[in-house]
Structure 1
Amino acid sequence: MPRDLPIGNGALLINFDGTYQVRDLYWPHVGLENHSKGQVFHFGVWVDGHLRWLDDPGWSRRMGYAHETLVTQVELTHPDLQLDLVCHDAVDFHENLYLRRIDVSNPTERERQVRLFFHHDLNISSHEVGDTAYYEPERRAVYHYKGPRWFLINGATPGKRPEDAPDSVAGWHVGLQQWACGHIGVNSLAGTWKDAEDGLLSGNPIAQGSVDSTVALHLTLPAQTTQTAYYWLAVGTDFEEVTRINRSVRHRGPWHFMNRTASYWHLWLDTHRPDFADLPPDASRLYLLSLLILRTQIDNDGAILAANDSDIATAVRDTYSYMWPRDGALVAYALDLAGYLDITRPFYRFCRDVISKEGYLLHKYNPDKTLASSWHPWARDGRKDLPIQEDETALVLWALWKHFEKWKDIEYVKPLYRSLIIRAGDFMAAYRDQKTGVPLPSYDLWEERRGVLAFTSAAVWAGLTAAARFARAFGETEAADRYGKAAAEIKAGVERVLYRPEHDRFVRMANKKSDGSWEFDETLDSSLFGLWYFGMFPSDDLRIVKTMQAIQDHLWIKTGVGGVARYHNDYYHQQSQDLTNVPGNPWFLCTLWLAQWTIATAKTKDGLKPAVALLEWCVKHGLPSGVLAEQVHPYTHAPLSVSPLTWSHATFVAAVQEYLAKWRSLPQ
């Protein structure tokens, strides 16, 4: 199930599924550790003897974000309950604090008692062994803990009571009305949320092992009135830290934190809000929302995570919660275009810290800078073989040069020069076929095949060109000349090896056989766009034009959904064998690559209109919340694979920035 609503602050990330239930809770890094492990945190409403959990099919849900901020706005109704709910969720921009405001409206002519139930299936540090959950009566809160991972759960309802602390916010009772701590997944126990279904919790004060908890807040609603309740969850390393956060919420009021968080994200967007020219309003809105969603997927220590939808782990026993240097570089490039250099700088420092002494970046990394899981082997035919996607090393340098070109932040770049730029430049200049000049074989950006790749070759050319420009700027002309010569040889090799005149276009991959001849993979692949996007060839080079036209003609999905596939007969989450009409599932980023080429080649403002249509395609096929998945179903446009995909949102941001720059440069 996709993650329709992510909210976060760069350390704490909360993901909601399509039923508006928490499914992922990451801390202290975005993408590491997932303390829910994808399990459902049930949310339910009890009234008049009936309880309905939010996964009940009777709920009508409208899920999205409040205007231009990382605060949710969720509208809920259920015919059995005769109640209307409006919920707002936020992760405080500074504290590790998740809050929810629930406005409950009673449209009937009678007074009613409403109970809101919140369930927590915490798997602290991503496993359930050795957890403790307990009720603490002084603060009327529930704590979960294991080692240096603590969680405090509390809430507030209208009407101060004698037992409230003197410094509690005026007019509100802070504390839980019901609670239960128990076991889950042990001896067939379903968990404490089942205990709530009669509207009453057991009050069990502690449980240890594989545990969960359920708590309740009570509201009294006179006829035709609305009442508000607040719920919050504080996260920290010990009892004192989470208790301090709780004390601050109790003293200031939970609305203080929600309001300041909404204001922070408004300000964050306003600092770099572009003039949207003639861009349609829905595309402008998705641009701003994409920036906010991107921020939720980026760790404060620099890791740009590919995605944090843990459902993928059910199928493959692994996730997308890693920093792929390629994805990170392209996301950082988009954010630099948008003006957010403070977000991108930690990413380049991250890459400096993890690059090998030989000068290459490996497959992917965890947010704490340790090496992540990989399926690329270190041996081939019994001999050492580098398990790399070389474009990942190259694109970091390409993006860093674009960053420096825009910001001219020499004091920032200086510590990266020797340890990252020169180290990677030396590696790329040497890691080439000596006869043709092209890069030696590595794995492709889709992580499926190994060879001399068009996309990778273009990226390495761009990385070496960036290294040459940096070296020249730092006065090291010998290194600059060496990198420039290597880049020129790569381009010549690509023209000689990967351009196939019999097809009137470039091909995606070649491999040298034992007799020195080349074997070609002529599969049409949307990643061929890299040949012009990274600057190796002009976008209007006839060979590029023919290649991009072939992508447009043959990889466009010929159903009512549309969009561009990765490549012909793409097997990943494949939904159809009608390859003439459905060569693969439509991907947002591949569709946007076509938009970017259309923008790059437009000669007039009218020539930009097809690009606008492709941007609008993304708006139409995103989730109602605005979240963009990796790909969509070619017949139903339902999201497939992970959602949100950071790369999808970043490519939308980059495409809009390129559109606006081109629009300003063109005559009417």
Structure 2
Amino acid sequence: MPRDIPIGNGTLLVTFDELYRIRDIYFPFVGKENHSEGHPFRFGVWADGQFSWISDGGWERTLRYQPETLVTDVNLRNEALALEIIAHDAVDHQENVLLRRIEVRNLAASARTVRLFFHHDFYISETEVGDTAYFDPDTLSIIHYKGQRYFLISTDGVEGVESFATGRKAFRGAEGTWRDAEDGLLSQSAITEGSVDSTIGRTLELPPHGSTTMHYWIAAGTSYREVARLNELVRTRTPQGMLERTRNYWRAWVNKNEISFGDLPDEIVDLFKRSLLIARTQIDNGGAIIAANDSDVVTRATDHYSYMWPRDGAFVAQALDLAGYSNLTRSFFDFCGRILTDKGYFLQKYGPDGSLASSWHAWWDPHTRQRLAPIQEDETALVLWALWQHYDEFRDIEFIKALYEKLIVRAADFLERFRDPVTKLPLPSWNLWEDRRGIHTFTCATVYGGLRAAARFAALFGEAERAARYAQAAMEVREAMRARLYLPSEGRFARALMPTTDGGWETDSTVDASLFGVFYFGPFAPDSAEVKATMRAVEERLWVKTEVGGLARYEGDGYMRVAEGVPGNPWFICTLWLADYKIATARTREELEATLWLLHWVVKRALPSGVLAEQVHPLTGDPLSVSPLTWSHSTFVATVITYLRRLELMESCATCGRPLFQYDRRARKRAPS
């Protein structure tokens, strides 16, 4: 299930699924540890002798956010129970507390007693072994704990937690205390250890056609003292007061740069702001930009996306810099400086704490008995490229100085060195889609961009020899791309050169959306003949010719394939790359505005909450794979800013009379930091 409404503060992340069940609770890192392991926390209602979980049939659900905030706006309606529930959830922007305001509306003409039940299925530190759940009389709350992880649950009732049950789950047939709630009463069992869960209840009196409101919260900490302090803080400041301050904070945060959107349609502006906010939920305060936090993927892959891929992170950082959020990207680049290997490259992916994550990139070829570089070289190159974009935007030279030797020089030296001495192309590595190893056009384009960035940094610090060396290497990569990866017969670039069993190379001419890199990272002009032909092939052969539309990754893409007769499932990032190209080559305002339909396509395929998945079903438009994908949201942000800057450049050229001959990334208004 997609995660329709994630909320967080960079330390505590809580996700809800489409049935409005809490599914993931990450603390103290975004992406690590998941203290629910994807198991649902149920929310139930008892009224007039009937019980229903809000995930049951009979409920109409609308899951959105309040505008320009990370406060949810949830509507639940059940005609059979004659009840409507309005819920607002938020993680406090500063303290590690999940806050929930729940208003229950009586649709009947008579007064009624309603009981709400909140179930908690913790797998603390990602295992059910050795947990404890108990009622704490000092805080009038239920506490789940193990080791240095504590979770305190309470409400704003006079008695704190009014009724409760702790018990065993997933052990010798025990389903859990949520079953205890279904008769409208709880057992009051005060403590259980091992594989445990808990449920609390709250009674509300509803007047005829009236409503009653309550608040509920979960505080997360590393000790009893910490969660007890947070509990007292919520009671002192009131949960409603903390919700209000969090709502105000996010509205200020998303509008802090006062971007002028001109005539851009409201729905695009709204998704732009929503994308910034959702991307923020996926970024750890320590600097790791996490790809996606949706634990359901574990069921099909026995792994997840809650890792920091330097490639994804670099793209997200570039988008955040374009939008003016340099504080977040500085933390990301600092993180990269800490995890770069001694050899000058990044490995496939990392945990949010900087630890090396799982990988399928081999270090050894058992057939040739040779060492392999277990890398996607584009990840190293893209961090350098994005770091120059950051510096070019904000000119924070003292920040760059601290990274120059330990990150920039070491990574650039690797990019320069990791090349074939004859062809001058990069040596084989894994591609950005992580499904094949060879010499990829996208990788070569990023290496060009990374080396050009390093040359500019070296020149900035007065190191002429280094600057010349990096610039020469970049030029050699570009010319080698033209000589080895260009297909004269088709007038476009190939996807890759793939190694053969006899030690040679075979050209892979598959059309791949990542070929946009030949202009995006600078090796070739967007209006050059070879780029035009390449992008024409991308659009013609990868556009999904169904009512859904969108651009697939590459011809014959089998990843999560759900339909025949299409090149693959449409991806948000690929569709937006096509928009980037059309924006880059627009020569008039009319041509530029003609690209907006691609942004509208993204808006139409978002969930009602604004969440963007990784890809969508080519026949139904339903989300596929993880949701939200941080990269999808950041690409939308970057494309919107690129559109606005292209428009600004056009208007500037019209005013001064200068012709618009090329895509000028430097002619832009500098955003505040």
Q: Shorter chain as normaliser: what TM range?
A: over 0.9
Q: Per-residue deviation at 1:513? A: 5.0
Equivalent of residue 497 in structure 1, options 484, 502, 525:
484
Equivalent of residue 549 in structure 2, options 555, 562, 584:
562
Superposition pairs of residues 142-541 of structure 1, within 5 angstroms: 142-157=142-157, 173=158, 175-380=160-365, 381-511=368-498, 518-541=505-528
Q: Secondary structure at the match of 2:612?
A: coil
Tell me the TM-score normalized by structure 1: 0.96
Q: Per-residue deviation at 1:7? A: 0.3
- 2:35 aligned partner: 35
Q: Is the 8 A contact 1:595 1:610 kept in 2?
A: no
Q: Secondary structure at the match of 1:659?
A: helix
Counterparts of 1:55 and 1:303, CA distance in 2? 33
Q: Secondary structure at the match of 2:104?
A: strand
Q: Per-residue deviation at 1:516? A: 7.3
Q: Secondary structure at the match of 2:293?
A: coil
1:596 matches 2:596: no
C-alpha distance 584-134 of structure 1, shift in aligned 2 (>3 A): same
Q: Per-residue deviation at 1:101? A: 0.3
Q: Deviations over 1:134-155 (max 9, x none)?
A: 0112322100000000000000
Counterparts of 1:576 and 1:230, CA distance in 2? 45
Q: Per-residue deviation at 1:393? A: 0.2
Among the aligned pairs, what percent are the same residue? 54
Q: Is the 8 A contact 1:555 1:567 kept in 2?
A: yes
Q: Per-residue deviation at 1:57? A: 1.7
2:2 partner amino acid: P
Q: Deviations over 1:478-515 (max 9, x none)?
A: 11111111101000000001100112210110135577
Counterparts of 2:549 and 2:159, CA distance in 1? 52
Counterparts of 1:638 and 1:375, CA distance in 2? 29
Q: Secondary structure at the match of 1:3?
A: coil
Q: Per-residue deviation at 1:319? A: 0.2
Q: Per-residue deviation at 1:35? A: 0.1
Q: Per-residue deviation at 1:174? A: 5.2
Equivalent of residue 620 in structure 1, options 573, 583, 604:
604
1:302 partner amino acid: G
Q: Is the 8 A contact 1:154 1:174 kept in 2?
A: no
Tell me the TM-score normalized by structure 2: 0.96
- 2:571 aligned partner: 587
Q: Deviations over 1:517-546 (max 9, x none)?
A: 531111110000011001111111111011
Counterparts of 1:191 and 1:563, CA distance in 2? 44
- 2:623 aligned partner: 639
Counterparts of 1:496 and 1:546, CA distance in 2? 16
Q: Secondary structure at the match of 1:95?
A: coil
Counterparts of 1:664 and 1:470, CA distance in 2? 27
Equivalent of residue 611 in structure 1, options 592, 595, 611:
595
Q: Deviations over 1:598-631 (max 9, x none)?
A: 1000011110233210000000011111100000
Q: Deviations over 1:85-134 (max 9, x none)?
A: 10000000010000100011112221111111100000000111000000
Q: Secondary structure at the match of 1:125?
A: helix
C-alpha distance 140-502 of structure 1, shift in aligned 2 (>3 A): same
- 2:665 aligned partner: none
Counterparts of 2:98 and 2:279, CA distance in 1? 19
Q: Deviations over 1:344-370 (max 9, x none)?
A: 001001111000111000000000001
Q: Secondary structure at the match of 2:19?
A: coil
Q: Is the 8 A contact 1:106 1:223 kept in 2?
A: yes
Q: Per-residue deviation at 1:226? A: 1.2
C-alpha distance 145-512 of structure 1, shift in aligned 2 (>3 A): closer
1:577 matches 2:564: yes
C-alpha distance 433-222 of structure 1, shift in aligned 2 (>3 A): same
1:64 partner amino acid: R
Q: Is the 8 A contact 1:174 1:250 kept in 2?
A: no
Q: Is the deviation greater in 601-610 or in 417-426?
A: 601-610
Q: Deviations over 1:529-581 (max 9, x none)?
A: 01100111111111101110111111001000000000011000001221xxx
C-alpha distance 385-516 of structure 1, shift in aligned 2 (>3 A): closer
Counterparts of 1:515 and 1:98, CA distance in 2? 59
Counterparts of 2:159 and 2:135, CA distance in 1? 14
Counterparts of 2:490 and 2:21, CA distance in 1? 51
- 2:65 aligned partner: 65
Counterparts of 2:253 and 2:308, CA distance in 1? 24
Q: Is the 8 A contact 1:23 1:40 kept in 2?
A: yes
C-alpha distance 514-45 of structure 1, shift in aligned 2 (>3 A): closer
- 1:170 aligned partner: none
1:314 partner amino acid: T
Q: How many residues align?
A: 650
Counterparts of 2:164 and 2:413, CA distance in 1? 61
Counterparts of 1:210 and 1:513, CA distance in 2? 52
Backbone CA RMSD of aligned residues: 1.0
Q: Is the deviation greater in 146-155 or in 474-483?
A: 474-483
Q: Is the 8 A contact 1:332 1:347 kept in 2?
A: yes
Q: Is the 8 A contact 1:458 1:534 kept in 2?
A: yes
1:117 partner amino acid: F
1:659 partner amino acid: Y
Structure 1 stretches of 4+ with a deviation exceeding 4 A read 512-517
Q: Per-residue deviation at 1:53? A: 0.5
Counterparts of 1:187 and 1:125, CA distance in 2? 22
Counterparts of 1:535 and 1:115, CA distance in 2? 62
1:542 matches 2:542: no
Counterparts of 1:607 and 1:586, CA distance in 2? 24
- 2:639 aligned partner: 655
2:56 partner amino acid: D
- 1:106 aligned partner: 106
Counterparts of 2:107 and 2:499, CA distance in 1? 74
Counterparts of 1:615 and 1:570, CA distance in 2? 23
Q: Is the 8 A contact 1:156 1:217 kept in 2?
A: no
Counterparts of 1:498 and 1:423, CA distance in 2? 27
Q: Secondary structure at the match of 1:311?
A: helix
Counterparts of 2:182 and 2:258, CA distance in 1? 48
Q: Secondary structure at the match of 2:507?
A: strand
Q: Deviations over 1:360-391 (max 9, x none)?
A: 00000000001000001000122111100000
Q: Secondary structure at the match of 2:595?
A: helix
Counterparts of 1:517 and 1:19, CA distance in 2? 53
Counterparts of 1:21 and 1:522, CA distance in 2? 46
- 2:46 aligned partner: 46
